[in-house]
């Protein structure tokens, strides 16, 4: 959850107190939104927290792919693998 008192800061403040912010990022694991002229311009976060975010996104992509595949099967948008590979090989001139 974003704490607007701590997690939204100006870029100037971040530059002046970058060491303090690095400690905050490491401890809280929450990102900090940096603003320029009062508008969000960048998000800075701890490397471990970023890696967790990447891992979650990868799992979500895999889950979505599985969901789509199941939906295709349910709606009959499938064909036998042999039929696909025969077509693919013919289309791309691949020898069997």
For residue range 13-37, what is the model confidence (pLDDT) as tens digits? 999 999 999 999 999 989 999 999 9
Mean pLDDT throughout 46-52? 92
Question: Is the pLDDT assigned to residue 2 strictly greater than 90?
Answer: no
Residue at 71 is within a domain: yes
Quote the domain boundaries for residue 20.
4-45
Mean pLDDT throughout 40-69? 94
Question: Is the pLDDT assigned to residue 38 strictly greater than 80?
Answer: yes
Predicted pLDDT of residue 3:
76
Does residue 11 contact residue 42 with C-beta atoms inside 8 Å? Answer: yes
Q: Do 62 and 29 fall within a single domain?
A: no
Predicted pLDDT of residue 96:
76
pTM, 2 dp: 0.63
Q: What is the 3-state secondary structure (H, E, C) of 2-64?
A: CCHHHHEEEHHHHHHCHHHHHHHHHHHCCCEEEEECCEEEEEECCHHHHHHHHHHHHHHHHHH
Q: Do 36 and 18 fall within a single domain?
A: yes
């Amino acid at each position: 959850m974003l704490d607007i008192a701590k997690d939204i800061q100006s870029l100037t403040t971040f530059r002046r107190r970058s060491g303090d912010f690095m400690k905050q990022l490491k401890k809280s694991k929450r990102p900090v939104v940096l603003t320029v002229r009062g508008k969000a311009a960048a998000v800075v976060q701890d490397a471990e927290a970023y890696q967790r975010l990447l891992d979650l996104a990868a799992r979500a992509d895999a889950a979505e792919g599985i969901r789509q595949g199941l939906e295709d099967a349910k709606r009959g948008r499938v064909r036998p693998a042999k039929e696909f590979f025969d077509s693919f090989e013919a289309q791309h001139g691949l020898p069997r």
